[in-house]
Copies of this chain bind each other. A is one copy, B any other.
Amino acid sequence: MADLARELGVSMTTISRALSDHHSIGPAMKQKVLKLAKKYNYQPNRLASALRKGKSQLIGIIVPYIEGRFFPSVVHGIETAASKAGYNVIICQSNEDVAQERRNLEILLSAQVAGILVSLSRTTLDVRHFEKVRSRGLPLVFFDRIVEGDNVNAVVLNDQEGGYVSTRHLLGQGCRRIAHLAGPQHLNIYKNRRQGYLDALREAGLAEDESLVIYTDMSQDQGVAAMRQLLALPEPPDAVFAAGDYSALGAMQEARRQGLQVPNDMAVSGFSNEAFTVITEPAMTTIDQRCEEMGQAAVRLLLEVIDADGAPFTPRQVALRPELLVRNSSVRQAETELSSANLVRSFVP
């Protein structure tokens, strides 16, 4: 900038104004500056700018990990929305570890990000470390795995509704003993999915049966184990709603291994719309979590808080509507139909 100023015989202020499209700048001057900047291949230094302004164009993300279907898709949505708004994204993984989550938070604070998006680690029971963020007035939005309460900004899937519509769907197929493979109940998402399941059962006038609810870590293996346990019951279920696709897959595998027909003997529905659900045989009914939309919504909310710029902002919770994707694993059908391979479905990467 100093070079440009010297060469044009003007002050750095003028250069700065021309480059940042300030209003009080002559169009002629502006053109001259921009042209020379091109020629000299001027590269703005966002660090310096951010330091001066006290605000960077960076948004920090903390996710448990970048794997599977969900988090990468959300991050994809976030990055897309953020970059459209002129922000860039710095990403951290907590690896499901609170300690690392805390460290990540420190790092993002010291990086002077303009705001932070967080999905809690599975081991985060104590959330006091986020107080520091709030006390600095730094915009903070949770997504998916959130701190509950209405004094936080959050974007979630309506998990309760997801559990509810899934269970309703199974009931609609004539299932009467519906089991549930639940996840860790201190995480809002799994608690709510279970709640939706219970709500649907109650609404249908079915008694809640604790032996039909199996608590798992959502892995495929525990899905297998859970189904084994369920089938050993005096009165085994005729359907299972799993809070995740992997445990649903395990359950489905085990049911078939034990000679049951899916869905006729055992209807199965999962949660997350993992890529593989469309390829299992039968294709798996599941809930789409609107990953991209969640990322977009989170950014939108965060930008609102950022743009409020310290002005009192009433925290808001956004709930996205889950989409039930009905596929063959839960649609009871005549035996003849069962033989048609499911492999012929279209599948978008």
Contact = CB atoms under 8 A, between A and B. Distances in A.
Contact of A343 (B106, B256, B347): B256
Contacts of A68: 349
A123 interface: no
* Oligomeric state, in copies: 2
Contacts of A65: 76
A336 interface: no
A80 to B, nearest CB: 7
Interface string A189-220: 00000000000000000000000000000011
A79 B80 CA distance: 19
A43 to B, nearest CB: 5
Counting chain B CB atoms within 10 Å of each CB, the highest count among A51, A106, A249, A257 belongs to A51
Interface stretch (A1-9, A145-153, A163-171, A274-282): A274-282
A71 B76 CA distance: 11
Interface in A66-117: 66-68, 71-73, 75-76, 79-80, 83, 88-93, 106-107, 109-112
Given A88-B90, A249-B347, 16 more contacts: A45-B110, A45-B112, A46-B112, A47-B111, A48-B51, A66-B66, A66-B75, A67-B349, A71-B72, A79-B93, A83-B92, A89-B91, A220-B347, A257-B344, A280-B343, A281-B343
